Chains A and B, each alone.
Chain A
Amino acid sequence: QVQLQESGPGMVKPSETLSLTCSVSGYSISTGYFWGWIRQPPGKGLEWIGGAYQSGAMLYNPSLKSRLTISLRTSRNQFSLELSSVTAADTAIYYCARLGGGSLGSWAGPWGPGILVTVSS
């Protein structure tokens, strides 16, 4: 059974870089699928961030692309998210997930439990 778990700081200062890691168990991320991130501001809807494939292919939300890096660390069976120059608008629950649906990585499942990241000084 595939399981994912997010980790990282729960608070980041404005203008700094948000960094999160997702640890995967029960499946080798080098086998296949995109692996990515979705976020949800408290009390609001879902926003797709993007994903990465073991071949090096990337899918990034264009609205975040200039600030975004998603990387796979296959030796640790982990992948990461870095979002630079954060503002209060980046405050959200961040979920990591396996992304299916072929080259568009359009569906997500399973998901990690999520981690709340607050951007505040």
Chain B
Amino acid sequence: QAVLTQSLSASGTPGQRVTISCSGSSSNIGNYTVNWYQQLPGAAPKLVIHTDNQRPSGVPDRLSGSKSGTSASLAISGLRSEDEADYYCSTWDDSLNAVVFGGGTKLAVL
């Protein structure tokens, strides 16, 4: 059972905007910044958002992150077929004294 809660799946058509959510508590998201990873099929995860809303070099600005209270979101606009992947949120949890992950959301581009 993952500490952070994500929907199992999400979907959209090319060009649409999709939002993936991540829910936590005051011991994690409520007090620490959130990071997002994209895992393409058969590949290692890739950091796409860190520190709530910062994009590493090379990540397109179609991807954006936000946070409010104990929840965070990853938005993907102008959806493309290459966005089809699993997406994971993560942050520090001070009751577990560890980095924790969400269970992952599988994004399908229909």
| A111-B44 in contact given A45-B104, A62-B97, A106-B92 (Cβ < 8 Å) | yes
Judge if B46 is at the interface, Cβ distance under 8 Å: yes
What residues of A have a CB within 8 angstroms of the CB of B33 in the complex? 101, 106
Partner of B101, one of A45, A63, A100, A113: A45
| A109-B46 in contact given A45-B88, A48-B99, A62-B97 (Cβ < 8 Å) | yes
CB pair B47 A47 closer than 8 Å: no
Partner of B90, one of A61, A95, A106, A113: A106
The answer for the CA separation of A74 and B2 in the assembled complex, in Å, is 34
Q: How large is the interface on B (under 10, 10 to 19, 20 to 34, 35 or more residues)?
A: 20 to 34
Q: How large is the interface on A (under 10, 10 to 19, 20 to 34, 35 or more residues)?
A: 20 to 34
CB pair A104 B47 closer than 8 Å: no
Binary contact track A103-121/B, C-beta < 8 Å → 1, others 0: 0111111111110000000
What residues of B have a CB within 8 angstroms of the CB of A104 in the complex? 32, 92, 99
Judge if B110 is at the interface, Cβ distance under 8 Å: no
Judge if B23 is at the interface, Cβ distance under 8 Å: no
CB pair B45 A48 closer than 8 Å: no
CB pair A112 B44 closer than 8 Å: yes
What residues of A have a CB within 8 angstroms of the CB of B92 in the complex? 101, 104, 106
Binary contact track A61-105/B, C-beta < 8 Å → 1, others 0: 111000000000000000000000000000000010000110011
The answer for the CA separation of A105 and B47 in the assembled complex, in Å, is 13
CB proximity of B82 to chain A, nearest CB, Å: 18
CB pair B101 A109 closer than 8 Å: no
* A→B interface (CB under 8 Å): 38, 45-48, 61-63, 95, 100-101, 104-114
